[in-house]
Amino acid sequence: MTLRLTELRRYPVKSCRGESLQSAVVESWGLVGDRRWMLVDDSGESVTVRQKPRMLLVHPSIDPSIDPDGGLRVRATDLPDIPDLEVPVPVGTARTPVTLFHGPAFDAALAGDEAHEWFSKVLGEPVRLVYAEDPSRRLAGRSAPEGTPMAFADGYPLLLATEESLADLNAKIAAGPRAAEGNLPMVRFRPNLVVAGGEPYAEDGWARFRIGETTFRGVKGCARCAIPTTDESTAVRYKEPTATLARHRRWDGAVWFAMNLVTENPGATIRVGDEVELLDVVPRPDGPPR
């Protein structure tokens, strides 16, 4: 069966809702427009769904009419009385040191006061909106090639999941004690690329592959946090899929689903429907995917 790219998604503001795409340019730090914005607290530390599940009810989209370089339009899906927020890309504005998960600090550009006030009102606590104007200020995890730049994704520029792996996971949930929490949609796992046509978890062994004109490397499996347990339409948190992953995909004290990627030739465009050509496949590991 032919492997094909069936979905593309980007997440303009880290931990907020994403948007579906038909095509996307792949840069060395990820899909264009993906996680270039982030919320931080007064200390500069990232604010994510881990602490604020309601962030999934905030829907940002990239709107070129606001700013051709990647301006934001943001709406609060559960607060219709709050008007949409429009945010241009910060140019010549103040920078502030920020951190992700209390890691090394790096500078990001501050959005305007209106953006800070809008997000603070929606989330119910003081936050600031920042922009990764120069992704080279932060580097990917050590499994990536040295010097791989990052915006605000957790550890690597891109994440891939397959429809077959999700179907297998949902089947296992349905057969378990929390069947009512099953039938999870793919958005729970927040991948950038979704592929169909293979065997469940075959992506664990995809060392190199090509989609359209872009070649990717699978560099490390994705150890999952609490985010996939949070319903993206209600912000309610459940036990699944972590409970089932812990029974079937648990190694090194973590649960694993999907594969982190880097690109070998940034600047090309990939499109939904593109064929996926496997170039180098390694045996599936008896442990965390690389």
Convert the pLDDT of each residue in 9-52 to its tens digit.
999 999 999 999 999 999 999 999 999 999 999 999 999 999 99
Q: Helix (H, G, I), strand (E, B), or coil: what is residue 186?
A: helix
Q: What is the reported pLDDT for 92?
A: 81
Under the banding of pLDDT at 50, 70 and 90, the label for residue 197 is: very high
Per-residue confidence band for 284, with pLDDT thresholds at 50, 70 and 90: confident
Q: List the one residue out of 279, 289, 227 whose CA is nearest residue 256.
A: 289
DSSP 71-130: -EEEEETT-TTSPPEEEPPP-S--EEEEBSTT---EEEEE--HHHHHHHHHHHTS--EEE
For residue 277, the cross-strand partners are 210
Q: Which of 3.40.50.10860, 3.40.50.11030, 3.10.129.10, 2.40.33.20 would CATH assign to domain 4-29+141-281?
A: 2.40.33.20
pLDDT at residue 286, rounded to an integer? 80
The pLDDT of residue 290 is 76
> Which percentage of the chain shows pLDDT scores above 70?
100
pLDDT digits (tens, 9 = 90+) for 107-157: 999 999 999 999 999 999 999 999 999 999 999 999 999 999 999 999 999
- pLDDT of the residue at 77: 86
pLDDT one-digit tens code per residue, 248-275: 999 999 999 999 999 999 999 999 999 9
Pinpoint the residues of the chain covered by CATH 2.40.33.20.
4-29+141-281
